[in-house]
Structure 1
Amino acid sequence: MTSSLQTPSTGAKWAVAARIYIPALWLGLIIGISFIEAPLKFTAPGITIPLGLGIGRRVFFAMNMVEILFFIALLAGSLKHGAGKAWSWGVGLVGLMLLLKTAAIRPGLSARTDAVLAGNSDGGSLWHYAHIGVELCLTLALIALLVMAAKRSIGITGQ
């Protein structure tokens, strides 16, 4: 007797895993770095503004490189095995937030950091608020993707 259920191919399994693990890992990265490490760094004893900015610059550069890799893997998993219109919109929104953060906000923050380190500014700017806003939007979009992927993996439809 043969089973009517088909075993998914290795590529399909990878795509399902990517749809769940990548948003989950990306969320952990954002929560750990943007929402925990960055604000607490400046409250640590002995951390000066220049030292905190120097550390932050390196950490956020590395984080951004990992986010780009996450997005490429997420996109590859989505394109290889179609995931529905809502999923596509979610991935598009994540990509847009990443592009905005990488191409517009990071250069503005870098210029602001340069001015603070040169002594030409006291710090704080609208760039920081823009970064926080985009991180919040990215977080919500990743949560939505994770919920959609979890629902799909346990057989709840409606995407």
Structure 2
Amino acid sequence: MTHFFSTNDSRLAAGARLILPAIWLGLIIGISLIEAPLKFTAPGITIPLGLGIGRLVFGVMNWVELVIGVLLLWAMLKSGVDRAYRGVASGLIAVLIIKVVVIRPLLNRRTDAVLAGVDDGGSALHLFYIAADGLLILGLVAALVLAVRRWVTIRPQ
């Protein structure tokens, strides 16, 4: 059992390549797919209140995603990562950067305009955020499949 992973791969890095995508996937499912749509159906929630809560929740979520992304990058750079996992993880990091650096600031400006009464809130910008999360979900599932396959196929020597 000493050589469960290749000698150049640490148990911590290999475990992180499995656990981090699972946590990240759960975060997106919980916040983007469950909390966000349900928030506006709660009694007494107004558009300004819902937007304020959403801005806070998604801001924190994006910081958590960035931390997970950095940790995943570290785990990916450790030895023992095949080309497929490296490609998927690189794609995840790229989509995350676009989501946080490009899309989120545009959505924040739009939210400011809605809260100031200058805009009615109808926008396709949310579709870009949803598309980014969709790409992340697909990439995270792929990363999980690759990581699990690696765990299953490696045999003790």
TM-score range, shorter chain: over 0.9
State the Cα deviation string for residues 56-90 of structure 1 (Å, max 9, x = none).
Answer: 00000100000000011111011122311111110
- Tell me which amino acid in the other structure corresponds to 1:73: L
Q: Which runs of 5+ in 2 are unaligned?
A: none
Who is 1:31 aligned against? 29
Who is 1:75 aligned against? 73
SS at match of 1:154: helix
**Cα distance, 1:121 vs. partner?**
1.0
Who is 2:88 aligned against? 90
Separation in structure 2 between the aligned mates of residue 82 and residue 93 of structure 1, nearest angstrom: 18
Separation in structure 1 between the aligned mates of residue 122 and residue 54 of structure 2, nearest angstrom: 14
Q: Which runs of 5+ in 1 are unaligned?
A: none
Shift >2 Å, 4+ stretches: 5-9
Asked if 1:53 corresponds to 2:51, the answer is yes
Higher relative contact order (Cα pairs below 8 Å, separated by 6+ residues): 2
Change (3 A) 1:111 1:63: same
Q: What TM-score do you get using the length of structure 2 for normalisation?
A: 0.92
Separation in structure 1 between the aligned mates of residue 94 and residue 21 of structure 2, nearest angstrom: 15
SS at match of 2:44: coil
State the Cα deviation string for residues 68-120 of structure 1 (Å, max 9, x = none).
Answer: 00011111011122311111110111011101101110011001100100001
Q: What TM-score do you get using the length of structure 1 for normalisation?
A: 0.91
- Tell me which amino acid in the other structure corresponds to 2:152: I
- Identical residues among aligned pairs (%): 51
Asked if 1:131 corresponds to 2:129, the answer is yes
SS at match of 1:58: helix
- Tell me which amino acid in the other structure corresponds to 2:97: L
Aligned residue among 109, 112, 117 for 1:111: 109
